[in-house]
Structure 1
Amino acid sequence: MNDILTIAGLTTTPLELLSFVLAVITVALNIRQNHWAWLFAIISSAAYGVVFYGARLYGDMGLQLVFIVVSFWGWYQWLHGGTGKQALAVTQLDGRGWAICIAAWLFGFALLSTFLAKFTNTDVPHIDGFLTAGSLVGQVLLSRKKVQNWHVWIMVDVLYVGLYLFKGLTLTAILYALFCVMAAAGLVAWRKAAQA
């Protein structure tokens, strides 16, 4: 799965290509609030964990493991996390919720970037830690069907494009550019759902 492929002038591997396709399916299903997105998220995260290990993006690799665990929780939340164990509805964060998210992101960034700098051979500990912490915040918000998960994903995805280009993961950089567009569509769709 690590053989080199060239597709439309881009160098990739079969595993990165498979991860790409599964991730696009995941986000498309998330936009539609389809709970099967969580199954695709689990498989995609497992595949991307291996890709990121090979690129020495250990924060992202660890994040994929966390995504797998959180995906089981998110799947349950979407189906039974609402009032009376009903399906969860799309809602908005209040000011207090935003403050908690920002504090969690900053705390996670400090913790992860320090760990990555001291205990791994990564050459990008700070941006990896920052984006890993932000992705965790986005994943929790997605799991609780908060509209603002899309704001977080847009911010994170824009920065990931640059990181993946730097690391030579061009196909994954294209994926995250596509994620920016999909996250904007998700934001519009979920705002409408929250208002309804």
Structure 2
Amino acid sequence: MNLPLHLAVFVTTPLELLSFGLSVLTVWLNIRQSHWAWLFAIVSSATYAMVFFGSRLYGDMGLQFVFIAVSVYGWRQWLRGDLRHRDADLGAPGAGLAVTALGARGRWLVAGGWLAGFVVLAWFLKTWTDTDVPHADGFLTAGSLVGQLLLSRKKVENWHVWIIVDVLYVGLYLHKHLVLTAILYAVFVGMAIAGLRAWQQSAGMPTGGSGSDGGGGRRLVLE
């Protein structure tokens, strides 16, 4: 599964190609708010862990195992929700988790968590591994973890994080000669923008269009 595979002008592997397909499917299902996205997230994280190990991206490799754990948590949250975030229109027990937005305090906590994660991960990668990109890997690994945690709670801001992270990952993966994965993350940028607009509409937030709530979208809950 990790043997070279020549596609047009670049070389990939069957494992990277499989991970590519699974990841696109995962993000598409996330945009549609389908809980099955978490199943494919688990599988794609496992396959990408092997891809990143081969490229000495140890931060990204370790992140995949965290993603698997967060995916199990997120799957449960999306299916069950909680009493504070249930949609008022679907308020019976068992209703799923509603799309909500962070308040000012939540945004500061996210920024602080990202910064702290970057400092710790960059130090660890530089000190204990042979990676040649400890700072880039640490920054993007921390950001990805923040984005995944926000996604698990259906916070609109997860898409803002993913847009930033995905743009920067394109450059990192080109540097590591993971051309197919770089293309994947370029696709992810567009999908993250689409996801942001779809979730804003679902939460009843302005999307830069008519400013309406899309007709019956979920209420916005600020925390």
TM normalised by structure 2 equals: 0.87
CA offsets 1:17-71 (integer angstroms, 9 cap, x no match): 0000000000000000000000000000000000000000000000001000000
- How far does residue 86 in structure 1 lie from its aligned partner after superposition? 2.8
Q: Which residue type is aligned with residue 51 of structure 2?
A: V
Q: What are structure 2's unaligned runs of at least 5 residues?
A: 84-92, 205-216, 218-223
User: Between Structure 1 and Structure 2, how many residues are aligned?
Assistant: 196
Whether 1:130 aligns to 2:139 is yes
Indicate the percent of aligned positions where both proteins have the same amino acid. 66
Aligned partner of residue 11 in structure 1, secondary structure: strand
1:126: how far off? 0.4
- Within a 5 Å distance, the mapping from 1:158-173 to structure 2 comes to 158-173=167-182
SS in 2 for 1:17: helix
Could you say which residue in structure 2 is the equivalent of 1:179? Answer: 188
In the other structure, the counterpart of 2:2 is: 2
Partner of 1:102: 111
Q: Higher Cα Rg: structure 1 or 2?
A: 2
- SS across alignment from 1:87: coil
What is the distance in 1 between the residues matched to 2:192 and 2:143?
Answer: 15
Following superposition, the deviation at residue 8 of structure 1 comes to: 2.4
More helix per residue: 1
Q: Within 5 Å, which residues of 2 pair with 1:1-196?
A: 1-83=1-83, 84-195=93-204, 196=217
Give the Cα separation in 1 of the matches to 2:109 and 2:12: 38
CA displacement, residues 117-136 of structure 1 (integer Å, 9 cap, x when unaligned) = 00000000001000000000
What is the rounded CA distance, in whole Å, between the counterparts of 1:85 and 1:164 in structure 2?
A: 41
The 8 Å contact of residues 82 and 89 in structure 1, kept in 2 or not, is answered as: no
Q: Give the Cα separation in 2 of the matches to 1:130 and 1:60.
A: 10
SS of structure 2 residue aligned to 1:96: helix
Distance in 2 (alpha carbons) for counterparts of 1:146 and 1:2: 36
Uncovered stretches (5+) of structure 1, i.e. residues with no partner: none
The Cα shift of 1:2 comes to 1.2
Deviates more, 1:49-58 or 1:4-13: 4-13
SS of the aligned residue for 1:51 comes to helix
In the TM superposition, residue 175 of structure 1 has moved relative to its aligned partner by 0.2
Runs of 4+ in 1 over 3 A off after TM superposition: none
Using structure 1 for the length normalisation, give the TM-score. Answer: 0.98
How far has the Cα of 1:85 moved from its partner?
5.0
